[in-house]
Amino acid sequence: MKRIGIASSNPVKIAAALEGFAQMFPGETFDAISIYVRVSVSVQPMSDEETLRGAEERAGQAKLLRPELDYWVGIEGGCTDWPVGMGAFAWVVIHDNRRSGRGRSGEFFLPEKVAELVRGGMELGEADDQVFSRNNSKQGNGAIGLLTNDIIDRKSLYIPAVIFALIPFVNPELYP
């Protein structure tokens, strides 16, 4: 059994990582270990660059703290303002002892009520909870689930990004 260190205690991020690994490595089994890490990015990263840096730091810190594991995963959700509105997305970074992979989720646009709260310094999950009268939606369906009636939830948004980040691991000859 391979052991994956996931730099989060959020059950959605852990489930997305496990599902992405299971899809890319059918027939293998994985155990997820939650690792608490500290990162230098904002609680709510507000650019593509800051969000990627958060995912990089998470994966790197997890590797430093638990070097005996097989893989280390950092997942960071972020927002950015565009001329057409505020988009939300996530970056995933995965390391093993020989290579690294990166993947980004799709991006969707937030309602202006939510975007205003995020621009004011509120974390996206808290803004969602306030606007949608929810509690702890970031450990559930997230903004994307609330906006799509759970056709796509937070976990299913993250899984493709995990899969994208695993491409170098299933194609090592192309990613030395």
User: Residue 64 belongs to what domain range?
Assistant: 2-105+154-170
Task: Encode pLDDT of 82-132 as tens digits.
Answer: 999 999 999 999 999 999 999 999 999 999 999 999 999 999 999 999 999
Supply the mean pLDDT for the chain: 96
Cα 67 from Cα 75, distance rounded (Å):
18
Stretch 32-47: mean pLDDT: 96
Q: How many domains does the chain have?
A: 1
Cα 72 from Cα 163, distance rounded (Å):
14
CB atoms within 10 A of CB 95: 21
Q: Which residue has the tokens 């959605």?
A: 12
- Identify whether 122 is part of a domain: no
Task: Encode pLDDT of 127-164 as tens digits.
Answer: 999 999 888 887 788 999 999 999 999 999 999 999 99
Report pLDDT for 136.
81
- In the predicted model, is pLDDT for residue 20 greater than 80? yes
- Identify whether 141 is part of a domain: no
The verdict on pTM exceeding 0.85 is yes
Stretch 70-93: mean pLDDT: 98
- Identify whether 38 is part of a domain: yes
Report pLDDT for 51.
98
Cα 58 from Cα 37, distance rounded (Å):
6
- Identify whether 77 is part of a domain: yes
Q: Return the higher-pLDDT residue of 61 and 176.
A: 61
Stretch 42-51: mean pLDDT: 96
Cα 137 from Cα 102, distance rounded (Å):
26
- Identify whether 28 is part of a domain: yes
- Identify whether 47 is part of a domain: yes
CATH of residue 6's domain is 3.90.950.10
- Identify whether 133 is part of a domain: no
Q: What percent of the chain has pLDDT over 70?
A: 100
- Identify whether 54 is part of a domain: yes
